[in-house]
Amino acid sequence: MTGAQIFIECLREQGVDTIFGYPGGAVLPIYDALYDAKDIRHVLTAHEQNATHAADGYARSTGRTGVTLVTSGPGATNTVTGIATAYMDSVPIIVFTGQVATSLIGRDSFQEVDIKGITTPITKHNFIVKDVDELADTIRKAFLIAKSGRPGPVLVDIPKDIQTAQTDYTRNAIKLSDIKPSSAEIREKAGFKESFIEAATLIENSKRPVILAGGGVNISGANEYLIEFAEHIDCPVASTLMGLGNFPAQHGLFLGMAGMHGSRYANYALTRSDLIIAIGTRFSDRVVSDLDKFGSGAKVIHIDIDAAEIGKNVRPHISILGDVGEILKGLKASVSHKEHGKWLAQIDKWKAEHPLKYNRASNLSPQYIIETLSHLTEDRAIITTEVGQNQMWTAQFYKFTKPRTFISSGGLGTMGYGLGAAIGACVGRPDMQVINIAGDGSFKMNLTELATISRYNLPIIQLVLNNHSLGMVRQWQNLFFDERYSYTSFGQEVDFVKLASAFDIEGIKLTQNEEVEDILKYALDRKRPIIIDCDIHPDEMVLPIVPPGQSIDVLID
């Protein structure tokens, strides 16, 4: 077989049914082989960055590895932001890039770039294949690396002559389960038993425990174990941004999101607890803020699969390395049933005194839009977001109850991420309604993907919370820079309803709270792509907010 044919066969080995990509000269042999591969769907995006975001959204929504295929040079460099986004949020994607022929590498050839060198800091691993005999095993390794341990992106650079060269191919479908250690093997690791016993003792003796659950819970599929564990020890649960969906929002033990824009009661609970059980979280600066004051009166148990995260930001008293689900099962079995009535009563008092609130007298409240959307969709939607106020309002006011239903760029904060991710989620989960919530600033960064949505008639609802500004940056200028709005205000230069028409997509203007429910119901019933342009006042803010450098229990609201 040629290298291009081997590429296709290796995708079949790994169960790949979808690729997001954009063709070019350095990948023409692979695209020619794809012409006959009717069992692999290729989704042609409008830009390579969004092909990578789409693979990311596909991976987050399905739990499978997303795949991107692009050409060399600018095609490859256009994927860098998408790769970095996936790297920061531990998302398993494989980015296959074409490369000039091996004889031309290093000669500044047309559309040549050292994409391996460029992406080394933002991939779990990357490869350049210089021998066709190594192609199949390299692809297999890439899939294993992307999914094993803490997931992440892998890049495979394939020169054009490797794609046309021939060699023998032998099927060898190595699966992750073939190399993943069992829970018994994990428990035999040096120091594991001692840490486990010490953690159980701290939990037994705690009077004011709090669980801080991060994205690692969703990634590991340990959501049910988290619920059972929290109920067993009668412990409130706060979530990071990436952890939303890992614990039902309506559950009595749920505190909502913690951190810079977290609920006041979640932040109070973390600040006043005597034990923080951190599960699958990296203690981002947006969660802990002032490191010296974060949980200063609490012991910290840190559970994670990645040893590099232990002590990187917050130094734990006890750490347990391994699969979150296996650890939570073991801890539940090792700790007696607890009741923390006094502690939970105090938290309920904080909830009553400091609920999330907003100005309901506004002509059109972004928070009300999201609340209403949450009520109408319940458990039947996947929500993607852009970055900024739209992202934080969604995190605060949409009631996520299931894992893999909230898809957002957390670590890198990539404006322009949401619509590409929505495409991937819609392709990967056609059984779910997909809605992208954006600000007008972020939306303008990726609106070219409306062409993709129109081409494939993807029934994505695009909400544009249009405040004619870079809302979050403007909010900071308002609060911390004496209202000096330097280059954050837009005019009326884009009519998003007319823009929708240009892409043969329906567009609706939303201006009043009284219209919200009817328009959202209409959009949800349409089962077709639609854009809703929501006219938001630029002074609307995301509150509460922890000022920069302050302890998380010091909030402006």
User: What digits encode the pLDDT tens for the residues 275-303?
Assistant: 999 999 999 999 999 999 999 999 999 99
pLDDT digits (tens, 9 = 90+) for 416-470: 999 999 999 999 999 999 999 999 999 999 999 999 999 999 999 999 999 999 9
C-alpha to C-alpha distance for 29 and 15, rounded to whole angstroms: 21
C-alpha to C-alpha distance for 400 and 328, rounded to whole angstroms: 22
**Comparison of pLDDT for 184 and 294, the residue scoring more:** 294
- CB burial of residue 229 (10 Å; 0-12, 13-18, 19+): buried
Q: Over pLDDT 90: what percentage of the chain?
A: 93
pLDDT digits (tens, 9 = 90+) for 120-176: 999 999 999 999 999 999 999 999 999 999 999 999 999 999 999 999 999 986 555
319 pLDDT tier (thresholds 50, 70, 90): very high
- Nearby residues of 272 by Cβ (< 8 Å), 6 or more positions away: 208, 297, 553
C-alpha to C-alpha distance for 337 and 76, rounded to whole angstroms: 54
Single out the residue of 189, 208, 210, 218 nearest to residue 330, CA to CA: 189
189 pLDDT tier (thresholds 50, 70, 90): low
Q: How far is CA 186 from the centre of its chain?
A: 27
Q: To which residue do tokens 């904080």 refer?
A: 350
Single out the residue of 151, 180, 154, 164 nearest to residue 101, CA to CA: 164
Selected catalytic residue, list 48, 112, 326, 386: 48
Q: What SS3 state is found at 38?
A: coil
- Nearby residues of 459 by Cβ (< 8 Å), 6 or more positions away: 426, 433, 434, 526, 527, 528, 529
Q: What is the full DSSP assignment across 382-410?
A: EEEE-SSHHHHHHHHHS---STT-EE---
Selected catalytic residue, list 1, 9, 13, 111: 111
Q: Which residues pair with 239 in a beta bridge?
A: 213, 257
Angle (CA) 290 217 205, round 5°:
65
The total of other beta-carbon atoms located within 10 Å of residue 224's CB is 11
C-alpha to C-alpha distance for 238 and 242, rounded to whole angstroms: 12
- φ, ψ for residue 550 (rounded to 5)? -85, 160
- CB burial of residue 317 (10 Å; 0-12, 13-18, 19+): middle
Selected catalytic residue, list 242, 257, 392, 472: 472
C-alpha to C-alpha distance for 455 and 353, rounded to whole angstroms: 50
Q: Which residues pair with 238 in a beta bridge?
A: 212, 256
C-alpha to C-alpha distance for 291 and 283, rounded to whole angstroms: 10
Model pLDDT, residue 184: 52
Selected catalytic residue, list 110, 349, 378, 480: 110
DSSP assignment letter at 166: B
Q: What SS3 state is found at 173?
A: coil
Model pLDDT, residue 57: 98
Q: Where are the alpha helices (DSSP H) in 107-156?
A: 115-119, 135-147
Model pLDDT, residue 38: 94
Single out the residue of 548, 544, 549 nearest to residue 268, CA to CA: 544
Start-to-end C-alpha separation, the chain: 64
160 is catalytic: yes
What dihedral angle (degrees, nearest 10) is formed by the CA atoms of 495, 497, 501, 507?
A: 170
* Cα maximum dimension of the chain: 72
Taking each helix axis as running N to C, give the angle between helix 264-272 and helix 341-353, from 0 to 180 degrees, rounded to the nearest 10: 150
Mind listing the domains of the chain with CATH numbers?
3-179 (3.40.50.970), 183-353 (3.40.50.1220), 366-535 (3.40.50.970)
Model pLDDT, residue 155: 98
- CB burial of residue 198 (10 Å; 0-12, 13-18, 19+): middle
Selected catalytic residue, list 147, 160, 299, 444: 160
pLDDT digits (tens, 9 = 90+) for 348-391: 999 999 999 999 889 999 999 999 999 999 889 999 999 999 99
Model pLDDT, residue 178: 52
For residues 83-109, average pLDDT: 97
Q: Is the pLDDT of residue 193 over 90?
A: no
On the question of a cis peptide bond just before residue 544, with omega within 30 degrees of 0, the verdict is: yes
